[in-house]
Chains A and B, each alone.
Chain A
Amino acid sequence: MSINKDTIVAIFLLLFCGIMINSSFDIEDPGYQGMKASFWPTIVLCLLSVMSLVMLIKSMVSSTENNLNFENTNSQNIFLKFKNASICFLMFILFLVFLDYLGMLIGGVLFVFGLLTLLGGFEIKKIINHSIISITTIGIMWSIFTFGLKVILPEGEILRIW
């Protein structure tokens, strides 16, 4: 018997199913005839639980191929592997959190510039390129959606006050 990535995922999925099945009991029954609102999600969650259990068992009896080796896990390697993805996550969260304040135009330009610079590098030439790219691309996209497709994109408090 061994513990690997799949074991952890399967346990997580089982916990998720448990929480969701529990919350399915809170789904209101308006008393109408026909299928209850909780019926279909319960079926799906039960099947998901069964499949997660199958995955758990399979992962525990499987070979040691995906085994977690805590002693040899190099935290620096893991960080490097997910560095760029983490930067994208972080920048996107910042973009969303400040969207109401900065708006889509300023927020978008800052997001693209920040992401380009963090992923591409901080050399002066690159920074100039990144600022040109971010201003032109977001400017074009913003114009297409605002004027061409008549979508009212978030203006942001800065532009609203200004």
Chain B
Amino acid sequence: MIDVILQAFASIVLDPVTLGLMFVGTLAGILAGAIPGFTIAMGVILTLPFTFGMTAVQGLATMLGVFVGGFSGGLMSCMLTGIPGTPSSVATTFDGFPLVRSGRPGLALGLGLWSSFFGGMISAVILVALAPQLAFLGLEFGPWDYFSLIIFALTITVSLSGGNITKGLIAGLLGLFAATVGEDEINGVARFTFGFDDFKQGFAFLPVLIGLFAFSQLLTDVEDDKRAKSPLMSQSGTVVKVEHRQAILIILKRWLNLFRSSFIGIFTGILPAAGGSISNILAYDQAKKASPNRSNFGKGEYDGVIAPEAANNATAGGALIMMMALGIPGDIVTAVMLGALMIHNIIPGPTFIQDEPLLAYGVFIAFFVAHFFMVGLQAFSLRIFLLVTKIPMYVLASVILAYCAIGVFALHNIVFDIWVMFFFGVIGYFMKKLGFPLAPMILGVVLGKLAELNLARATGISDDMLLFISRPWSLFFLLMAIISVIFPFYQEAKKETLFAKLYVPISMIVLSLPLFLMGSPVRMIVAAILVLTGAYFLYKRTSSLKTT
């Protein structure tokens, strides 16, 4: 094991090419995160074409640089201009911007930067510790369980992506359908090709992703004529000197907030589709509730900067845990990384860490290293950021649209892929306009083939469809899928309604059933705790109903 870790370490830290790529990746990520209208996912997607010619380790290390850099880029724009660069830094604005305006911009940036660093480090440790264990758990999964896990990943994406659940489910199903076009992998039979030879190879995942996400986003960015022609930011910040030492001391004094926020971030990252945009607000909210200086929140409170920044960087580690251990992307960024691995003929899954230890530990180490780059590059990237914000959006959009075309062509060297990107770009644009969330569709495209493959394996082993509900893990994921579909209705329901009162306790009791069926002592104890807690809540809530 040690020799594998050392080899992985050497492949990242002792290889100047990989380090150089990570340097550029982190810088690009910081800028992508800092520019409003651009997202971290978009930064990672646009990096992808450059990674085709790299080794798998180099490609993933570069993308991790963008991923980690993106989170800290968001804090730069929100603190200096009051406009969050990414949704994952929205809560940082609440106290970061007032702290800057109170005359402490160096301290505000330092707090954000080092909270991101420590949050990332904590999640990196958890990633290294938890991913292999979760992968061992994944080895228990049969095709039935895997199929149900994919269904759960899709339904939770739908319920967490906000908005109308019907539209979310339709988007997810459209993604699953798009993945069926072309020759099927099991029988080699052409499907929905309508006589076009180009359709036989199906829609490659990356052109679809770039089209749906990047292309449609760029069209939205230039939609408003006036906004498209004006510089990216009307309020431009100034270069400030970051107060590193004082920021570190303040954060370490507030270690409880740091750890709590980091764990919120990790947990949110593990959940498919729940990314930094949710974790930063959750962590801020918890920090505010736990703080004795609650009234200072919103006025430049240090804890209000530490919590969201630690949480959003920790989310990255959480999302990687799911991808590394089970091959299920936690968000769009890890979906892109999954695609990058597939380009190198590596299919992540429970055996990934065992089969590709060098690559797996390379990812772990790259995640650590990226955080050091993030800290080191902050001052330099601040200057570039101030220059980039003077460029109008229409210039960036036009250049990036052309870059998308070149990048997509580089994937298979065929023009058809550019047409696919364009087609899905148009679809993505109109879907957004009509209120359909894009994340479920993207996950549908990514997981569609995997779902079909596992369904085929399951039905190939046995005709008995009841295995989907009689196998404990499969039942567990299907129940989780049902619970996640109902979740948006729970959110909308008024607190005093019977449904809102019973949703959580009944979900807990129901989920304990498959855990009991698993038989192992630890899981039975967890199941018993779930039943008891659920029963306690049920009793309390029904008795409060009786009294009212």
Contact = CB atoms under 8 A, between A and B. Distances in A.
A111 B402 CA distance: 7
A45 B177 contact: yes
Given A27-B189, A40-B180, A151 B410 contact: yes
Contact of B399 (A112, A142, A149, A154): A112
A6 B422 CA distance: 24
Contacts of B395: 116, 120, 133
Contacts of A151: 52-53, 409-410, 413
A35 interface: yes
A88 B219 contact: yes
Contacts of A131: none
- Interface range on chain B (Cβ under 8 Å from partner): 35 or more
B402 A141 contact: yes
A85 B173 contact: no
B418 interface: yes
A2 interface: no
Nearest to A142: B406
A112 B404 CA distance: 12
Contacts of A116: 394-395, 398
Do most interface residues of chain A lie in helix, strand or loop, or is the interface mixed? helix
A120 B392 contact: yes
Interface string B392-420: 10110111011101100110010100110
Central interface residue in A44, A141, A145, by most chain B CB within 10 Å: A44
- Interface range on chain A (Cβ under 8 Å from partner): 35 or more
Given A45-B177, A58-B166, A95-B405, A34 B422 contact: no
Contact of A37 (B170, B186, B415): B186
Contacts of B220: 85
Contacts of A51: 166, 169-170, 173
B167 interface: yes
A44 B52 contact: no
B251 to A, nearest CB: 39
Contact of B402 (A81, A89, A112, A149): A112
A41 B180 contact: yes
Interface stretch (B2-10, B295-303, B319-327, B453-461): B453-461
Contacts of B418: 96, 99
A55 B166 CA distance: 7
A154 B409 contact: yes
A38 interface: yes
B245 interface: no
Contact of B410 (A30, A80, A137, A145): A145
B15 interface: no
A132 to B, nearest CB: 11
Interface string B191-228: 11010000000000000000000000011101111001
A106 interface: no
Interface in A82-110: 82-85, 88-89, 92-93, 95-96, 99-100, 104, 108
Nearest to A31: B187
Contacts of A99: 415, 418
A159 interface: no
Interface string A1-44: 00001100100010000001001100111101111111011001
Nearest to A42: B180
A115 to B, nearest CB: 4
A145 B409 CA distance: 10
Contact of A141 (B406, B415, B451): B406
Contact of A119 (B177, B398, B426): B398
A89 B409 CA distance: 18
Contacts of A5: 434
Contact of B192 (A41, A83, A112, A148): A41
A128 interface: no
Contact of A35 (B174, B398, B455): B455
B406 A145 contact: yes
Central interface residue in A85, A111, A152, by most chain B CB within 10 Å: A85
26 contacts: A13-B170, A33-B460, A34-B456, A35-B186, A37-B191, A40-B451, A48-B173, A51-B173, A54-B166, A55-B170, A58-B166, A92-B422, A96-B422, A104-B405, A104-B406, A115-B398, A116-B394, A119-B229, A119-B394, A120-B229, A133-B395, A133-B399, A137-B402, A137-B403, A151-B409, A151-B413
Interface of B: 49-50, 52-53, 166-167, 169-170, 173-174, 176-177, 180, 184, 186-192, 194, 218-220, 222-225, 228-229, 392, 394-395, 397-399, 401-403, 405-406, 409-410, 413, 415, 418-419, 422, 426, 429, 434, 451-452, 455-456, 459-460
Given A28-B190, A88-B218, 15 more contacts: A5-B434, A27-B189, A27-B190, A41-B177, A45-B177, A51-B173, A85-B223, A104-B409, A111-B405, A112-B402, A115-B398, A137-B399, A149-B50, A149-B410, A151-B409
- Ranked nearest first, the 7 interchain pairs of A and B with the lowest CB-CB distance are A37-B189, A149-B53, A119-B394, A115-B398, A35-B456, A41-B180, A48-B173
